Structure 1
Amino acid sequence: MVEHELQLQEQSEMAARKASKSQDDLAKLSHFGTMRMLHSLPTACEYGRFGADCEYRCIDCKNGGKCRRNKSGCECASGYTGTICEDQCPEGTWGLNCKNACECDGQICNRITGECDCPNGAKCDDSCPAARKQLCTFDISSGRTSEGIHSILSLSCLYFSLTNGNTGFYGPSCNLPCQMTCSNGRCDRKYGYCSCPAGYYGEKCDQICPRFNYGRNCRHVCNCEKEYSEGCEPKSGKCICKSGFYGPFCKRRCPVGFYGQSCTKKCECAKNQECDSATGDCIRKCRPGYTGDDCQNPCPAGTYGYNCVQKCACETGASQVCHHVTGTCTCRPVCPSGLYGPNCQHECVCRNNGTCNSKDGSCICPAGYYGAACSEGISFFIITAICV
């Protein structure tokens, strides 16, 4: 074994044992004297073994890691690191050898794929770890850091958890206390401002998004029809329709016969009578195409729609007929004997074998009869003349 002398700061060994003290106490290490410390370096491992003390073999590779071709160590699968691939990639990194940085705006990413793990609307922790420590040791033989005291040979090191109760820090070294309390958000780990989760905004993240905004810091605008919606859900942006409307953007009115929130309730009105799409109250006016006290009579010929006030645009004459609900023009059918009018809905009243006009129901009377319904007969009188 070869002994290697290192010059370290005096009392560093004592500081390592008291690593749970405040950052201010640990920062005083730079003012202490120096001491001598011995570190042993191992000799080369025999073929098939590796590690700081040659303690590992290829069968020790974990988490899908495979042995190198020369059996000098493990090649780790994506998302893992360490001598035998025993560690997951540190937070904020992913991929092979953990060399890729997450791009999730402070959120956690998948250590294998790099995809951001924080779903829309979830509370993502953008703050420094609740308890943090900046000091660690540097393993000279393996080049890995571990929990303990920071070696002068290591230029940077991970922040490890300390149960010291400190919360709300930010900055490159996670040592600057946040200046404000974030009610529903987290102190941004880089700049120290309140980073609000989906559904909140404001300096302290204490205000719910306005009706037509949603997402983190309420930066997105809802696509809802404002006239027919109450707003949108502050986290997801899903439209909240007013009673009587439905659809992803609240642009559609309830179908005839339904009412209420999302149009799930069925109207309970008389046949051919409408109900209010918002309240379900029965409306006195009839459904399109009908009229009368009980809304049972179709619109008169040549009219259609609500209250039968719209005029049909069909060709005049006998060739077309107008639909009493929609106003659609269709070819006029030939009515069966005894019926007449639009859709052949009226019954002829002709008597004594009178012929009914299929258009207007007028009667063509046979010889010897007259009147609107051919109900009147003609009387014949014989006059005898006497000559004197």
Structure 2
Amino acid sequence: MLPTPLLLILFIVQGFRFQQAHKECEPGHGGPSCNISCPDNCITCSDHATCSTCKAGYYNGRQYDNINYPEVLDCSLKCRQNCISCSKFGNCTECKRGYFGIICDQKCSSNCAICASTDKCTECVTGFYNRKYSCYHCISNCLSCRDPFYCRTCNSGFYDYRCHRKCEIGCLSEECYIRSGRCLCKDNFTGYRCDRCVTGRYGKLCNFTCPNCICDRDTGQCTSCNNGYFLSNTTCVSCEKGTWGQDCKNNCSEKCVECSPENGICTVCSDGKYGNDCSQSCSTNCMTRNNVPVCAAENGACLKGCSTLDKHGEFCNLTCGSNCKDGTCDWKSGACLHGCTINYFGEFCENMCSISCAPSSDRRCFSRNGTCTEGCFPGYYGPKCLQKCNDNCLNNVCGRENGHCSHGCIQGFTGDTCTYITHSAKQKDNTKSSTDTGAIIGAGIGGAAGMLVIVGGILLIVFCLRGRVRNKENSNSSDPTGERNDDESAPGYAEEARVAAGNGVGNTAAETYQNVQESVTVNTNMYEQLQDRDKSEQQYEMVSDTIYQNTSR
């Protein structure tokens, strides 16, 4: 028996194969993987020429069901004329509307759309309803109905359950909702069913304007007046000056010359006053008329300008800029009228002349645009002297218009603005570079030679030391006291190494001397240890070799 995991895998594989084999393909495709394109009139197929399901109006089999014709399996045979679908030429499974029978060759009765026989209608044409398998005409203006008393849809322009009511003339496109008559309104119409004119309109099409009133839709006669008017007979007449409101029963405020007949707000105040009721006083900075300030009635803005030239703004409550010459400015914009004080420029004299402008007895720059009047300080150029001359200009002087160096260039530079290096300066620079390179190479060679001299001196010291060591060994062996001569001690050798290295050779020589001194100190300790050891020639040579190697590092 197979193990359980293997059985599970086998079950999954078989299930996948079954699913692939029975997978539903999209219409027009077939095969195990649905990758086969079916013939034109096929819905499903097993291969390129064999259909299992045909589209409506086509079938598989023999032409005209005649055995003398070959059997066709690609759904290329057409059903009869009145068949929607068929299983073969002589058997329709569904007929077109108005036909019935095995081959759909019989017509249903008049006004019947679908029937089983001439006396059994199951669905009627539009405008008729079915009652006991017979079709009867719907009532007038009923497009489709369930019975004589209930219309499902009405002809255009009608509504209600029996379609006997007309949509209102104000309905857009004269269409309305079948159950209530509600609709979207045309212009100038209003109401749930668009059966009324908007306020101020009258007439059948609401295309006339009521004269300053609410009026009758049919006659246009005023029934009530708008504010500012009063009813005289059947028309509305404007209020007399100084009155306002419904039927002009209210008087304008005391300081009002005129007020709105609709709401009583003052439109013209007596001089010096403003506001809705003309109770507020105009600013004393406003220009006067008959020695009384004049301002707008609605907000108090000065109408004729300011009473003095040092004020500006809508209400003449702003002071001209402190840099305006004579302290005067335009009352509307605040722009200085007569230019600026010394050292300032701009429309409002808010900008200061450049500090690079040359000093002047009158002013350093023009009020209009800030251009320096007397040129620039040395080292600057441009209309406002804001740009610096090139540092290579001789005496730091350049032309004001274009920055060209007026007195030429300092040595080594050329060009209008002295930005280019001269040819001779380039050669000199190249020569200097070559000299510097030679000096560096010479210093390197000299340093190397110095090192060779130092190393040679060190080697000479080492050989001298080896000779003295041998002499000392001989003298010690002949000296019964065994005492050492302090004058020939290791510090003396170090001093000789220092002298051999030389004073003032440079940092490299000093470093080499330091290394030699440290090496000699180490070697001296080794010599002292040697006195207590075997004095054989072999040990002496080994120690001497070690000293030589340490000193040579």
Global fold match (TM > 0.5) = no
Provide the TM-score with structure 2 as the length reference.
0.23
Provide the TM-score with structure 1 as the length reference.
0.29
